[in-house]
Structure 1
Amino acid sequence: MEENQNTRALVMTHDLMTFYDVHKVFEEIIEACKPKGYTHTPKFNRFEMRDGNLIQFQNKRQEYTEIIKAIYYYASEQSVMYELIIGNMMRQVLEAFSTFQYKKGIEEVSTDANILSLLQEPEYILYYKNLMYRLVLHSGSHREEQIKSMNDFNFFSLISDTEKKRTAKDVLCFIYLLNERHLLEHLKGCGGIEVELQSWCQDIKTRATVI
């Protein structure tokens, strides 16, 4: 029985992470089809709705950068689009940052004294020790295998929208304090981001004194 090479599929989503997940699935399908020697090589197109028009999705946009920007827009109250999945987005960014920068998982970075010492000021070290414990190690489970496989921070089901926004700021500041240039490059084009980040960092120091 000859395989149907004319199969078509249309996938639509408003969720950025779902978009990238589907994108990866189609890439894997194309790779799997290459050895079969099809007459017409499988392909897919990506489009986005912008200002009421359907346009080609630009290859230069990167998943990691887009998620960092989404977290920033949420933290700065410019968007509530990802409110329901913001915990998972922060986990993804922290995991990617930790792996790229230190070749460690979130749970290791959050407890590594040498890495935390890079925060330099004792207020930051104290604050992030407590924050990362709540977010990563105390999110309804103390078991490492559950931490690595969880789809979201369980902690986020228990806190208010205001606390979620504050935590989004805290996560961005954590990356900023460990590698300032890294975060600024990924938030390039977002306006006066550095002044805002410094203000958020100062708020953290103030809160740290009452922990």
Structure 2
Amino acid sequence: MKSRSISAIRRSELSRATFEAVVRYGLRGTTLEKVGEIAGVSKGVVLHHFKDKSNLLEAVFRRSNGLLSDCVVELYRYAETPYERLWAIIVANFHDSIFNSGVCQAWVSLLGEVPHNTQCQRIQIANNTRIQNNLVHELKHFLDEDEARNAARTLGILIDGIWSRTGARVEPVDSNEAISDMEYALMKLLPSDPESVRKHQEARTKIEGIASIALGSKAFQEKALFA
């Protein structure tokens, strides 16, 4: 296994500390000093690895989007059918290891930076495109290509909407409720004959069970910690 440099580990620690600062204080209240306090280092150490707050935010965007991607990849390992792979995407987006009011609130705060930061825009566009492509790839097993793209766009908007409402505290939703909202939408967009409904329910049950073990495991949490 390739070892990581001290600098890379420190940058990872600081990006985690920045995200925690945004959770605690909001984006406006997050300063380099507060990031340093959470990380247990001086402001000078923060500046040594990131020249300014904007640079830090870019790292946070990369890390948070990378963690979501890691969740999808981890659940894909156990998905054996198009139903299960589709549910792997949904569950990964709303598993309680990354979906809670504090994280959602921080995400909403960070999104406010996107229009003003070209690099953050690129990262967010790449993340949205990845989710869209993943959804389209699986939805094509149930719909023709044009319908699959339209359905993927609708589901992507719903995912963002649930995260935004939860983060803005407009409509607090827990992991199970969010996944159930996605299931309701899926049943409106995809064939919903009794056999299809049964397969979706079985796939959701299996993937949620796997997620509780795989994404909650110490090994995965340590991997996510140093992503």
Greater RCO, 1 or 2 (C-alpha within 8 Å, sep 6+): 2
TM-score, length of structure 1 as denominator length: 0.31
TM-score, length of structure 2 as denominator length: 0.30
Kindly indicate which of the two structures has a greater share of residues assigned to helix. Answer: 2
